[in-house]
């Protein structure tokens, strides 16, 4: 049956239930039987993002078909249409755990029941050799699907059950099937295990999913994930390098047995966690019965540090892309003080800055997270801001530069870059006061700030004098701007200077636009289009 507007296959579409980067889920009704389902459809972004998102979408159908457990939302039908692949799932009447937790934390017993349901579902997947790899509140539904009394849990008979969904990032261990390059992390930072954050996809085990359940259980009881931060990069750095706050410090009402279970789940070393979700489920049953769990005492939540001084940098780089493997041993934090970890991360960032700016930005986030008081921290902030600026994240760049205090030697550079960022946005009113503050003194940045102000006010002689002996990509950009705006300027020189700025500095979009405009003025239409 062909799809038409408002219908996909044999299903009439209803309200949208959820949306992610690569899929949309609708409430739908089978036009023949009248059965209501949740219909998951590949999004336009998935169809335009190359083959991997659609391969993952189809792979999810295959993996879930192989699982038969009441706690896993089953696939009922699947197909392909003009809108791409789709599949129909059992409809759960309820809401995602994420929506529940937005309102308030849960009583510890209810949190334990939900975690127990999820662990039981994962145990079935692990028994078939399937890792979920993305256990998080958004992939857990709390409600009822038909007659849900067949779901084995310890909740009261009238309580809603928890159901695990979204196997789009799952890995089939027996076949080794995966759609992930080794060295690339998959998952959600708040619930990602350290080995996932390191990108060591070849060594993932069921203990990876155990970490995810532990992180979700921690959040249900404590009201926040075990690691949080302002950016995904900061969160991942903490996952790799730091210890979570002990659960009972945030939730004193939680029993000690539950805290021991959570601590075991969140051990940095996979071997120190429960070996699989079945073992975790059994311990959660013990906690619910008031018995002592079998978790080995208070698990040691140590920093993940590898056997060489540079390994923390490699671990962080692996989260950012294919640049390393996971760590091999885990000494106590005292063996690797935070500054040395920070320096290693920053050194790795410098090494990959030109070829992998996103990776370098993440490495520097890790350096700042583990060495905020390091003497080089402000220099790292300057560099990270430049990387973000080049990736078109102007607000992120400004946020980094704003954190450099006026008392720091780097303050003049931070002011100059903030002003220059405003120039790129054509915000002259915002740029001028920043550049005026940066222009005080005789530092390199002060001279560049005076040159920028001269260009903005069309004082060409002053601008040329300030830039006569200036070096660096910033000076090249300003010289290009000068020759571009000056009615008597050297247009070929503007193209060359813009090119030098792009070759040495961040790939700023507005500089590319300016260079294209100059090439067009010189009759180089092909160069302008490029």
CB-count burial class (<10 Å; 0-12, 13-18, 19+) for 310: middle
Query: Token pair of 477, please?
Result: 């950009």
C-alpha dihedral over 268, 269, 270, 272, to 10 degrees?
Answer: -110
Q: What's the CA gap between 195 and 193, in Å, rounded?
A: 5
- Predicted confidence at residue 298, as pLDDT, reads 41
Q: Is the pLDDT of residue 273 over 90?
A: yes
Q: What is the mean pLDDT of the chain?
A: 80
- Predicted confidence at residue 518, as pLDDT, reads 83
Q: Give the range with max mean pLDDT: 47-56, 175-184, 285-294, 306-315.
A: 285-294
Query: Token pair of 60, please?
Result: 């999810």
Level-2 CATH architecture, domain 7-90 = 2-Layer Sandwich (3.30)
Indicate the pLDDT class of residue 307, thresholds 50, 70 and 90. very low
Q: Are 356 and 403 spatial neighbours (Cβ–Cβ below 8 Å)?
A: no
Indicate the pLDDT class of residue 283, thresholds 50, 70 and 90. very high
Q: Is the pLDDT of residue 51 over 80?
A: no
- Predicted confidence at residue 218, as pLDDT, reads 97
- Strand partners for 193: none
Q: What is the mean pLDDT of residues 31-37?
A: 91
- Predicted confidence at residue 53, as pLDDT, reads 65
Q: How far is CA 266 from CA 64, 120, 215, 218, 282, in A?
A: 27, 18, 7, 9, 17
Indicate the pLDDT class of residue 59, thresholds 50, 70 and 90. confident
Q: What is the mean pLDDT of residues 515-523?
A: 82
Q: Is the pLDDT of residue 216 over 80?
A: yes
Kindly tell me the number of DSSP H helices and DSSP E strands found in the chain: 23, 11
Q: What is the mean pLDDT of residues 169-186?
A: 51
Q: Is the pLDDT of residue 301 over 50?
A: no
Query: Token pair of 506, please?
Result: 């961040």
| Percentage of residues in the chain having pLDDT higher than 90 | 32
Neighbours of 107 (CB within 10 A): 13
Residue with the bigger pLDDT between 50 and 9: it is 9
Q: What's the CA gap between 110 and 107, in Å, rounded?
A: 5
- Predicted confidence at residue 519, as pLDDT, reads 83
Domain extent listing, the chain: 7-90, 94-288, 304-374
Cβ neighbours of residue 484 under 8 Å, at least 6 residues apart?
A: 491, 494, 498, 514, 517, 518
Q: Is the pLDDT of residue 9 over 60?
A: yes
Q: Are 472 and 386 spatial neighbours (Cβ–Cβ below 8 Å)?
A: no
C-alpha dihedral over 330, 333, 337, 340, to 10 degrees?
Answer: 20
Q: What is the mean pLDDT of residues 244-259?
A: 94
Residue with the bigger pLDDT between 182 and 243: it is 243
Indicate the pLDDT class of residue 180, thresholds 50, 70 and 90. very low
Residue with the bigger pLDDT between 166 and 163: it is 163
- Taking the model in full, what pTM does it have? 0.55
Q: What is the mean pLDDT of residues 373-378?
A: 87
Residue with the bigger pLDDT between 18 and 93: it is 93
- Predicted confidence at residue 11, as pLDDT, reads 92
Under DSSP, is residue 485 helix (H, G, I), strand (E, B) or coil?
A: helix
- Predicted confidence at residue 324, as pLDDT, reads 32
Residue with the bigger pLDDT between 137 and 389: it is 137
Half-sphere exposure of 126 (CA within 13 A, CB side): 22
Closest of 161, 56, 82 to residue 117, by C-alpha: 161
Query: 116 φ, ψ to 5°?
Result: -65, -45
Closest of 124, 92, 89, 86 to residue 8, by C-alpha: 86
Q: Minimum mean pLDDT among 272-276, 377-381, 426-430: which range? A: 426-430
User: Mind telling me the catalytic residues?
Assistant: 134
Q: What is the pLDDT of residues 320-371, one digit of tens each?
A: 333 332 333 333 333 333 346 888 888 888 888 777 888 889 999 988 988 8
- Predicted confidence at residue 186, as pLDDT, reads 53
- Predicted confidence at residue 41, as pLDDT, reads 85
Q: Measured in Å, how far apart are the chain's first and last C-alpha atoms?
A: 45
- Predicted confidence at residue 29, as pLDDT, reads 94
Place of tokens 């539904």: 141
Q: Is the pLDDT of residue 377 over 70?
A: yes
Level-2 CATH architecture, domain 94-288 = Orthogonal Bundle (1.10)
Closest of 427, 369, 379, 417 to residue 396, by C-alpha: 417
Q: What is the mean pLDDT of residues 408-413?
A: 88
């Amino acid at each position: 049956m062909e799809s038409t507007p408002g219908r996909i296959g044999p299903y009439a579409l209803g309200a949208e239930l959820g949306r992610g980067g690569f899929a949309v889920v609708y409430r739908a009704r089978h036009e023949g039987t009248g059965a209501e389902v949740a219909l998951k459809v590949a999004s336009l972004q998935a169809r335009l993002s190359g083959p991997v998102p659609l391969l993952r979408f189809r792979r999810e159908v295959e993996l879930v078909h192989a699982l038969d457990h009441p706690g896993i939302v089953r696939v009922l039908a699947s197909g392909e249409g003009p809108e791409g692949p789709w599949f129909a799932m059992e409809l759960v009447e309820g809401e995602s755990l994420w929506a529940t937790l937005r309102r308030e934390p849960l009583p510890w017993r209810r949190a334990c029941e939900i975690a127990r349901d999820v662990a039981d579902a994962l145990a079935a997947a692990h028994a078939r050799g399937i890792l979920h790899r993305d256990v998080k509140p958004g992939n857990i539904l709390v409600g009822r699907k038909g007659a849900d009394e067949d779901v084995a849990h310890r909740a009261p008979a009238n309580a809603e059950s928890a159901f695990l969904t979204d196997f789009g990032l799952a890995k089939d261990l027996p076949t080794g099937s995966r759609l992930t390059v080794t060295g690339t992390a998959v998952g959600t930072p708040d619930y990602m295990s350290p080995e996932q954050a390191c990108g060591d996809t070849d060594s993932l085990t069921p203990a990876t999913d155990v970490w995810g359940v532990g992180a979700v259980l921690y959040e249900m009881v404590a009201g926040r994930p075990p690691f949080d931060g302002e950016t995904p990069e900061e969160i991942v750095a903490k996952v790799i390098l730091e210890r979570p706050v002990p659960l009972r410090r945030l939730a004193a009402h939680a029993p000690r047995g539950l805290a021991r279970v959570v601590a075991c789940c969140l051990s940095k070393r996979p071997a120190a966690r429960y070996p699989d979700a079945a073992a975790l489920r059994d311990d959660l049953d013990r906690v619910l019965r008031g018995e002592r769990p079998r978790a080995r005492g208070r698990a040691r939540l140590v920093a993940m540090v590898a056997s060489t001084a540079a390994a923390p940098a490699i671990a962080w780089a692996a989260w950012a892309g294919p640049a390393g493997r996971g760590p091999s041993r885990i000494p106590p934090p005292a063996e690797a003080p935070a500054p040395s970890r920070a320096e290693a991360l920053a050194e790795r960032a410098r090494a990959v800055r030109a070829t992998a700016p996103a990776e370098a930005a993440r490495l520097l986030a890790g350096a700042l997270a583990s060495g905020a008081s390091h003497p080089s921290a402000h220099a790292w902030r300057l560099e990270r801001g430049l990387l973000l600026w080049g990736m078109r994240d102007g607000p992120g760049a400004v946020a980094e530069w704003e954190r450099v205090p006026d008392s720091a030697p780097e303050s003049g550079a931070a002011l100059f870059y903030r002003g220059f960022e405003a120039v790129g946005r054509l915000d002259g009113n915002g740029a001028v006061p920043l550049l005026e503050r940066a222009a005080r003194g005789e530092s390199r940045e002060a001279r560049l700030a005076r040159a920028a102000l001269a260009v903005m006010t069309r004082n060409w002689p002053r601008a040329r004098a300030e830039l006569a002996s200036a070096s660096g990509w910033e000076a090249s950009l300003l010289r290009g701007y000068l020759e571009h705006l000056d009615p008597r300027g050297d247009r070929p020189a503007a193209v060359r200077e813009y090119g030098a700025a792009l070759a040495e500095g961040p790939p700023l979009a507005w500089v590319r636009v300016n260079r294209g405009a100059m090439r067009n003025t010189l009759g180089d239409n092909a160069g302008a289009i490029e």
